[in-house]
Amino acid sequence: MPTAAVMTPRQLYERLKNVRAGSLVCQYSLKKCEELVPLINEINALKKEKGAVILVHSYVSPEMVYGVADFVGDSYKLSRDAIKTSAGTIVFVAVRFMGETAKILNPGKEVLVTADDPGCTLADAITAQDVRRLRKEFPGYAFVCYVNTTAEVKAECDVCVTSANVYQIVEKYPSDKIYFLPDKFMGMNLKNEMQRRHVNKDIRYFSGTCYVHEEYTGEQIFKVRSEYPDVKIVCHPECNAEVVANADFVGGTEQMLEYMRKATAKRFLMLTECGLSARLQSEFPDKELVGSCTMCKYMKSNTLESILRVLKAPQERERVRIDEKVRVRALKCLEEMFKYAEPSPSRKAACE
């Protein structure tokens, strides 16, 4: 999603006028766009001058998605985009573990994170020391980590997964004993899905949660379905098993977007972060989102001001640095993911 060199308030407003996700703060008037555009143009000019590329996660506020992003997506898509870029500096508008993933893949590049609070309740739930302890407790298990983990944790694991490829990778991975971390809901959903697919694996999991997705309940779904019988319920696999069992579609952020793009239905309940809902409202104005969404305070601590400040003069805590030995081991874990996430030859043939 390359941004124009100089953006006008009208251009920004055209992208944002349909956004209704979250509170009034997330709604955009032409006047609000007039206030935002000088900052956006200053960031885009500075980005060019510094030879930087800006990667923006779909969960951040839409003025960044449509104003300054060179690439937009979920963590898997952005990690692939990070490999493709020839820019010397990668500015990651998301949370810290995503910046670490970019650095693992691009050790020669400067990677900067712009969030004032770049945490994540999943990535912060487990340490490398915890994984070493669990390895002793569960010998013979393959350790599968969600991408929402630190570089140190990835370095201790066998293969990384994302919400988009977790089922596919665990099914294919050559081990009958799987320890999944850190998300307990994704672990439960993984176990249920493997049973549904008649894949006989012993699956254990850790106790972390995403504080945004754990909010959703089956009761919310039943209420919305009774009010709107034609609604399609779309959820992220970080939601609990009752939510997942009652949804029409379960998938990662980019898969949800694709589902909505292709669906003939007109009304949706999206059980995910408000940033994605905002993106969907901007890109599919003829489709209606019902119910409410939930905001991630970490993602929302990225602002146009923080991006400009980091581009101008990054502080040490905003530069991503990873010990080289840790990076090499974490890279192996990510490379295993890329290997197992590739479509099988027959599936490839079917797509061509």
Positions in the binding site for ligand SF4 (CB under 6 A): 59, 95, 120-122, 148, 210-212, 273, 296, 298-299
CB of 181 to ligand SF4, least distance (A): 13
Q: How far apart are CA 168 and CA 304, in angstroms?
A: 37
Shorter beta-carbon distance to ligand SF4: residue 13 or 180: 180
CB of 32 to ligand SF4, least distance (A): 25
Assign 3-class secondary structure to the chain.
CCCCCCCCHHHHHHHHCCCCCCCHHHCCCHHHHHHHHHHHHHHHHHHHHHCEEEEEECCCCHHHHHHCCCEEECHHHHHHHHHHCCCCEEEEECCHHHHHHHHHHCCCCEEEECCCCCCCCCHHHCCHHHHHHHHHHCCCCEEEEECCCCHHHHHCCCEEECCCCHHHHHHHCCCCEEEEECEHHHHHHHHHHHHHCCCCCEEEECCECCCCHHHCCHHHHHHHHHHCCCCEEEECCCCCHHHHHCCCEECCHHHHHHHHHHCCCCEEEEECEHHHHHHHHHHCCCCEECCCCECCCCHHHCCHHHHHHHHHCCCHHHECCCCHHHHHHHHHHHHHHHHHHCCCHHHHHHHC
Shorter beta-carbon distance to ligand SF4: residue 178 or 274: 274
CB of 56 to ligand SF4, least distance (A): 14
CB of 303 to ligand SF4, least distance (A): 16
CB of 261 to ligand SF4, least distance (A): 22
Shorter beta-carbon distance to ligand SF4: residue 3 or 148: 148
Residue 38: both structure tokens together? 């000088």
CB of 80 to ligand SF4, least distance (A): 18
CB of 257 to ligand SF4, least distance (A): 16
CB of 256 to ligand SF4, least distance (A): 13
Q: Which amino acid is at 279?
A: R
Shorter beta-carbon distance to ligand SF4: residue 205 or 298: 298
Shorter beta-carbon distance to ligand SF4: residue 12 or 276: 276
CB of 119 to ligand SF4, least distance (A): 8
Q: How far apart are CA 128 and CA 200, in angstroms?
A: 28
Residue 5: both structure tokens together? 């060199």
Q: How far apart are CA 279 and CA 274, in angstroms?
A: 9
Residue 138: both structure tokens together? 């569960």
